[in-house]
Amino acid sequence: MRRLAVLGSTGSIGVNALDVARHLKSKCRVVGIAARRSWEALRDQAMEFSPTRVAIVDRDCAPRLTAALNGIQVLAGEQALCDIATADDADVVLSAITGAAGLAAGLAALRAGKTLALANKESLVSAGPLMMEAATAGKAAIVPVDSEHSAVFQAMQSGRREEVAKVYITGSGGPFRTADAAALGNATVEQALKHPTWRMGAKITVDSATLMNKALEVIEAKWLFGLEAEQIEVVIHPQSIVHSLVEFRDGSVIAQLGLPDMRVPIQYAITYPERLDGNVKRLDLTELKTLTFEKPDTTRFPSILLGFRAAREGGTMGAVLNAANEVAVEAFLARRLAFPRIVATVAEVMERHSVKRSPTLDDILQADAWARREAAAVASRNP
């Protein structure tokens, strides 16, 4: 029996995680759920799964949630996420909170020795060394939920870490894969949110449109798998069937394939190291007409180059890239920033940053706050 806590339970990943828990009801019990402000959705989830406790970050929503949930403990505020993540009755903590907001709870879960099913890639991007140190100190496992990193994680079971030569991170290319520079210059919010394969939240969908998601995944892969930047390559795979590949020293390449369904990596993260029957449509190889792979166009999508730069420089640069991108994406979604200016804003902030090579958590938080201020100023001056 896996006892599961889901941070960000009302978002896309969280909803899918609860669907997996529903399917695994004889093998998985939901003991904690948390959301930022969607208290009505959180209420409905709590009424179905009867967790021991729920957390709502927005304190103004807490009284209504408490009144609706008789007998279930309701926690409120930022600290409530850490309380859910470290509760004694949780074995697996699935972190699906978007952005740097999930960092503190992820660190707390690892230090408490929990298995961290990590969908919040920004935690590793911003504070990779600290996350890995916390996992070591707590004797905890980080099992990635991102489809790409889950694929790498699974493929790596075929050999030892020191036998890995290269990791290939695949990406669909997003809604603008074939768009020219003019089309990108005039891209609208509505166009950016029309992903050809996945159905996700607004922020990660825009990241897919700029390919900033691949930049973040390069940095995440570096820390999660102990790789050098030169051991990571991004390839565009429009069919989204091959979720990533690992090349070993002897030339063998191991890939993980499947139809695009986030419930597969979510279930693997919850049940790891076991595999249980899944409730997803199966891949029929005879229905596949073609699988194609291409190099990303870093002229049209320079975000990938920023990801490799941050991976090479390390220190606080990942936190700066992530924070500046969050601010720029928010400005784009609010129609205050043109689509090409998202990545340009991030690049400008990174140029201004003096990297701290061995940062503390305070250093990372300060870099995050500085980058947010800088990105807001850059975006307002040059929208």
The tally of CA atoms less than 13 A away on the side-chain side of residue 16 is: 26
Q: Do 33 and 176 sit in the same domain of this protein? A: no
Query: Residue 294 has what pLDDT?
Result: 97
Host H or E run for residue 138? none
Contact assessment for residue 67 and residue 91, using Cβ atoms and an 8 Å cutoff: no
Q: Do 174 and 67 sit in the same domain of this protein? A: no
Burial class of residue 197 (count of CB atoms within 10 Å of its CB; 0-12, 13-18, 19+): middle
Q: Do 129 and 250 sit in the same domain of this protein? A: no
Host H or E run for residue 288? none
The CATH code of the domain that includes 106 is: 3.40.50.720
Q: 48 in a domain, yes or no?
A: yes
Query: Residue 7 has what pLDDT?
Result: 97
Q: Tens digit of pLDDT for each residue in 71-125?
A: 899 999 999 999 999 999 999 999 998 777 789 999 999 999 999 999 988 899 9
Report which DSSP code applies to 334.
T
Q: Do 162 and 295 sit in the same domain of this protein? A: yes
Query: Residue 226 has what pLDDT?
Result: 95
Q: What are phi and psi for residue 53, nearest 5 degrees? A: -150, 155
Q: 232 in a domain, yes or no?
A: yes
The CATH code of the domain that includes 254 is: 1.10.1740.10
The residue out of 144, 179, 202 marking a domain boundary is 144
Q: 275 in a domain, yes or no?
A: no
Q: 273 in a domain, yes or no?
A: no
Q: Do 137 and 176 sit in the same domain of this protein? A: no
Separation between Cα atoms, residue 143 and residue 153, nearest integer Å: 8
Q: What are phi and psi for residue 295, nearest 5 degrees? A: -75, 145
Contact assessment for residue 322 and residue 122, using Cβ atoms and an 8 Å cutoff: yes
Joined together, the tokens standing for residue 49 give: 């799964």
Q: Do 114 and 253 sit in the same domain of this protein? A: no
Q: Do 130 and 53 sit in the same domain of this protein? A: yes
- Between the CA of residue 122 and those of 53, 138, 252, what are the distances in Å? 26, 20, 31
Q: Do 136 and 199 sit in the same domain of this protein? A: no
Q: Do 221 and 191 sit in the same domain of this protein? A: yes
Task: Determine if residue 8 is left, alpha or beta; phi over 0 gives left, psi from -120 to 50 gives alpha, anything else beta.
Answer: left
Return the residue matching tokens 């419930």: 263
Low-confidence ranges of the chain (pLDDT < 70): none
On whether the pTM is more than 0.85, the answer is: yes
Query: Residue 16 has what pLDDT?
Result: 96
Q: Do 214 and 363 sit in the same domain of this protein? A: yes
Q: Do 134 and 172 sit in the same domain of this protein? A: no
The tally of CA atoms less than 13 A away on the side-chain side of residue 73 is: 9
Buried b (16+ CB within 10 A) or exposed e, 85-104: bbbeebbbbbbbbbbbbbbb
For residue 86, the enclosing domain spans: 2-144
Query: Residue 227 has what pLDDT?
Result: 96
Query: Residue 303 has what pLDDT?
Result: 98
Give the chain's domain count. Answer: 2
Q: What angle do CA 111, 114, 117 make, to 5 degrees?
A: 115
Q: 272 in a domain, yes or no?
A: no
The residue out of 109, 144, 179 marking a domain boundary is 144
Q: Do 358 and 327 sit in the same domain of this protein? A: yes
Q: What angle do CA 326, 317, 373 make, to 5 degrees?
A: 45
Q: 280 in a domain, yes or no?
A: no
Contact assessment for residue 207 and residue 213, using Cβ atoms and an 8 Å cutoff: yes
The residue out of 94, 113, 144 marking a domain boundary is 144
Q: What are phi and psi for residue 257, nearest 5 degrees? A: -115, 155
Separation between Cα atoms, residue 378 and residue 347, nearest integer Å: 10
Query: Residue 311 has what pLDDT?
Result: 97
Query: Residue 70 has what pLDDT?
Result: 87
Q: Tens digit of pLDDT for each residue in 206-264?
A: 999 999 999 999 999 999 999 999 999 999 999 999 999 999 999 999 999 999 999 99
